[in-house]
Structure 1
């Protein structure tokens, strides 16, 4: 039989749950390791039997107020506790989720605690499957613990959702909720969850503090199975196929004609009349000349241009030797200037 102790830690942007799984026969060794760390802390003025609460240790609050302002002493006690944990035959699993990315990915996401609890229970169940044993889960007391018990029962009956669907066959139900003050295993899970939060989701102002946090986390490397944060990928914006949205006036290249004075790179308009096919014996020059428009030098031809002002579309006119009706793309609608040229 395996026993897994669960505790949580979180910031505004990240949510974590740590699980420390150990053989039930090694519980006495676990309790002795926690008691040894507490005795080590007594040398720094901490009262006997103080609970190993990570936040109070590092901030010097509660039973650990003797460590206020003594960062090196707090790190030394933390290091001693983690060294004792690493010597046990336990397994460390930490899962987390990026809360802003979760809300950006889903319109109505599940609560972060519900998602991370599913992920960490999947890892714990995998540990039990590898060892061929069932796992009894002990979690820290929560205000809504009844809903979490129902959640685990649902997973056992219908299976987990998303990720790797499983029915958590090696998790015993119902899960147990206990007080961390009287449960050394929960104190170990609290130390692990807090440390990984500082390691993964906290920006240290002092590089020396960052180096100490990394050193503490490396102490648990031999017994760590997984430590990972789920970062949901944002959805790509949906666009209507075949349509390109534009925020500025731009003529469609395939529909427009170069109206430069040189007349180079001319493209035919969709509405422009095509040349008739060449008949037998017909001169090519005569056929092409029949399509030419007469040009009156006294009244020069003009080409329409479209301009945008405020929220309306206006048509302006500009003299040009080569007359054409360009097409313009307005949002998703094709708009063409009217044919107002009379021959």
Structure 2
């Protein structure tokens, strides 16, 4: 069985989800590597239980305020390198809200779909396709969110009637049970998904002005996309 860990990242003009798809042994090894990585930062006052949350790590906020920029950069590099070395599969899907709204308005959609719903649906379709290709089933585990019940309801509708539209229409038959939501501060795997989603969404929305930062981000994105299957945004 596959485990699919999902988190989101977004800006005003882009809403994206990143997923890390792994088996049990990959989950065990990646979790251990994350524990080791955080434990190695004790000299900077980082508690071994600290969450690797991409936004504060990137900007040096909260528990990461005393950590030098070069060390915080290394955290991103180490996380992405661990994903690449593990053989995990990364899935990345995004939606541009303004273009989605215009598309629905010009076609007179009676039901308007929110960008996070569309992006998550597109991600689930690709998880299902990936599980089918490997002849396995998958369990989806996502970071906790306020609208989790709505996502569970939609998941149930997709499995009963199929995903909306004809493109990649599926009943998600390879996905088990429901979408399980968990707090990311208790899951190193969800923290990895958060890092992956953050880097990818930033690459789609921000032009890096610092040449050194631009080189690091380009290297991170290259490694992430090397592990990915079907990365892309709608439309």
- Interval of TM-score (by shorter of Structure 1 and Structure 2): over 0.9
**Distance in 2 between residues matched to 1:131 and 1:47, nearest whole Å:** 39
Q: Does the 8 Å contact 2:184/2:190 carry over to 1?
A: yes
In structure 2, the partner of 1:52 is 52
Q: Aligned residue for 1:282?
A: none
Deviations 1:137-157 (A, max 9, x none): 001111111110010010001
Q: Secondary structure of the residue that 2:18 maps to in structure 1?
A: strand
2:157 to 149, 154, 158: 154
Q: Which residue of 2 aligns with 1:174?
A: 178
The normalised TM-score by structure 1 is 0.64
Q: Which residue of 1 aligns with 2:78?
A: 80
Counterpart CA distance in 2 for 1:41 and 1:54 is: 16
| Counterpart-to-counterpart distance in 2, 1:94 and 1:60 | 25
Which structure's CA Rg is the greater one? 1
Q: 1:10-21, aligned counterparts within 5 Å?
A: 10-21=10-21
Per the TM alignment, residue 212 of structure 1 is displaced from its structure 2 partner at its CA by: 1.4
Q: 1:213 aligns with which of 199, 214, 217?
A: 217
Displacement, 1:102?
A: 1.0
Alignment partner of 2:124 out of 121, 140, 143: 121
Query: Which residue of structure 1 aligns with residue 135 of structure 2?
Result: 132
Unaligned runs of 5+ in 2: none
The structure with higher relative contact order (CA 8 Å, sep 6+) is 2
Given that 2:91 and 2:231 are in contact with CA atoms closer than 8 Å, whether structure 1 keeps it comes out as yes
Residue 43 of structure 1, CA deviation: 4.5
Alpha-carbon distance change, 221 to 164 in structure 1, aligned in 2, over 3 angstroms: closer
Which residue is equivalent to 2:5? Answer: 5
Out of 203, 212, 216, which is 1:199 matched to?
Answer: 203
Secondary structure of the corresponding residue to residue 86 of structure 1:
helix
1:17–1:117 CA contact under 8 A, matched in 2: yes
* TM-score w.r.t. length of structure 2: 0.92
Equivalent residues in 2 for 1:53-72 (5 A)?
53-67=53-67, 70-72=68-70
Q: How many equivalent pairs are there?
A: 229
The two structures, once aligned, show a CA RMSD in angstroms of: 1.5
Structure 1 unmatched ranges of 5 or more: 232-343
3-state secondary structure, aligned to 1:87: helix
Q: After superposition, what is the alpha-carbon deviation per residue over 1:143-172, rounded to whole angstroms, capped at 9, x for unaligned? A: 111110010010001001123211111011
- SS of equivalent residue, structure 2 residue 181: strand
1:48 is displaced (CA, Å) by 2.2
Q: Relative to total residues, which structure has the larger helix share, 1 or 2?
A: 2
- 1:251 alignment counterpart: none
CA shift at 1:44, angstroms? 4.0
